[in-house]
Amino acid sequence: MVVGNGRKYLSALLTGPVSREESARLIEEVNRHLPHYRQVRRFHVAAEPFSIENGLLAANGKQRRAAIEAHFLEEIEALYQSD
């Protein structure tokens, strides 16, 4: 999920069994094709996937943004701390 509404740049929350190195490589590859204002600058990898059971997905499979932002508040704030 991409976060950063109202912030200077975009960050991403990645979930599941993925390494930071592989994530960085893939984000860099995607960023090459995007204008600077749409590029992801920082990211956080969480082992826990979004699911209906943990309240981060609605019954129809859509992301519950407010719940995700509340659940990962500390991680999101950390992505923007070193500005």
Average of pLDDT values for 53-59? 96
Average pLDDT of the residues of the chain? 94
What range does the domain containing 44 cover? Answer: 2-79
The type of residue at 38 is R
Q: Per-residue pLDDT averaged across 42-59, rounded?
A: 95
pLDDT, residue 82, reads 74
Task: Decide: pTM greater than 0.95.
Answer: no
Total structural domains in the chain? 1
Q: What confidence score (pLDDT) does residue 5 get?
A: 86
| Structure confidence at residue 20 (pLDDT) | 95
User: Do residues 37 and 68 touch, judged by C-beta distance below 8 A?
Assistant: no
Q: Which residues pair with 13 in a beta bridge?
A: 44
* 79's tokens: 């992505």
